[in-house]
Amino acid sequence: MARPASLAAPAQADNPPMDPIVAAALRKWPNVPHCYGWLALDARGDWYMRDDRIQAAGPFPRVKGSRIEHEKLREFICRNYGRDDAGAWYFQNGPQRVYVELEAAPYVWRLAPPGAAGAPEIASHVGGAARFRSAQVDEQGRLFLETDAGYGIVHTLDMEAAADAIERGHWAPEPAVFAELPARFGYRLRADAAPTPSQAP
C-alpha cells in the first residue's frame, strides 16, 4: 500500500457516499440478502476473500484466504465500505451488502511526514484523511487511534513514525485490553449471520 505524501481535509466518518452505480442498484433491488463470511480485512489493510472451503478450514485471521490483488477491485471495495447501525462493517457490492470480518479494527492507519502541528498526518486504508483524538495500546503492543473519521489500528510499517510522535509528546497512548475496544469504540469484529439494522444510503 502506497504511503500518503500529503493529506488534506478529514474524511467523512463511517459512511462516505457510495458509487452512483451502487446506489442505483440498491434502489432497484433493495431486498437482496446480505452476504456473511466471504470478505475480511486484516490489520495491515489487506482484503481477503474467504470461500466456503477457507471458512471451514478455520477462523480469520488464522486462516486468511485469498488476498485481493486486483487494484480496481480493491479501490471499488474501499469506495463502498461503511458501517451499519449495529457497528458491523460491510462492502456494498451493488445491491448486496457483503459483511466484512475485521482482524483488529475497521480502519488501518498509514502515517505521513509531520504536518504543521508536528505530529504525523493520518490516512486510512480506504484513502481518507483523519484528525487525531486519542490513542490506545493493547496487550499485544498494537497501537490504535481514535480519530474524527473513525477508529483504527496503525499499520506495522508506520510504528517508527508513531513512536516518534509519542516520544515528542504529540500522542499519549493509554493501555487497553483488545477485547474491550470494539464495544468502547462502537464497532463489531464480525457481523452475525442475520440482518442488522440498515444504515440508510
Which of 102, 128, 153 lies at the terminal end of a domain, its last residue?
102
The pLDDT value given to residue 3: 36
137 and 162 together in one domain: yes
The pLDDT tens digits along the chain (201 residues) read 333 333 333 334 456 666 676 566 566 556 768 999 999 999 999 999 999 999 999 999 999 999 999 999 999 999 999 999 999 999 999 888 999 999 999 999 999 988 666 899 999 999 989 999 999 999 999 999 999 999 999 999 999 999 999 999 999 999 999 999 999 999 999 998 654 444 433
The range of the structural domain enclosing residue 168 comes to 107-185
Do 30 and 97 have their domain in common? yes
Q: What are phi and psi of 83, to 5 degrees?
A: -125, 155
Are 167 and 120 in the same domain?
Answer: yes
Residue ranges of alpha helices (H) inside 90-169 are 159-167
**Sheet containing strand 89-93, strands side by side:** 66-67, 47-49, 35-41, 96-102, 89-93, 81-83
Q: Are residues 169 and 114 part of one domain? A: yes
In the structure grid, which three cell numbers stand for residue 125, read together?
A: 486504508
Asked whether 14 and 83 are in contact (CB, 8 A), the reply is yes
CA 82 to chain centre: 9
Query: Which is nearest to 197 in space by CA: 40, 105, 88?
Result: 88
Domain of residue 31, CATH code: 3.10.540
Last residue of a domain, one of 46, 74, 102: 102
In a domain, 13, yes or no: no
Which secondary structure element, helix H or strand E, spans residue 118, and what is its range?
none
Q: Are residues 88 and 119 in the same domain?
A: no
CA distances to 108, 137, 153 from 145, rounded to whole Å, are 9, 9, 6
Asked if the structure places residue 134 within a domain, the reply is: yes
pLDDT score recorded for residue 196: 43
Residue 161 lies in a domain: yes
CA–CA separation, 38 vs 191, rounded Å? 12
* Whether 120 and 95 share a structural domain: no
84 and 198 Cβ atoms separated by less than 8 Å:
yes
- Residue 194 belongs to a domain: no
Residues 134 and 175 in one domain: yes
Domain end among 71, 102, 133: 102
Is residue 192, in this structure, part of any structural domain at all? no
The verdict on 139 and 165 lying in the same domain is yes
The pLDDT score that the predictor gives to residue 20 is 74
26 plus 98 within the same structural domain = yes
Structural domain includes residue 53: yes
Do 53 and 120 belong together in one domain? Answer: no
How many folded domains does the chain comprise? Answer: 2
Note whether residue 201 is domain-resident.
no
* Alpha-carbon span 186 to 183, nearest angstrom: 5
Residue 128 forms part of a structural domain = yes
What is the DSSP secondary structure assignment for residue 43, as one 8-state letter?
A: T
pTM: 0.83
Residue 137 DSSP SS3 = strand
pLDDT of residue 95: 85
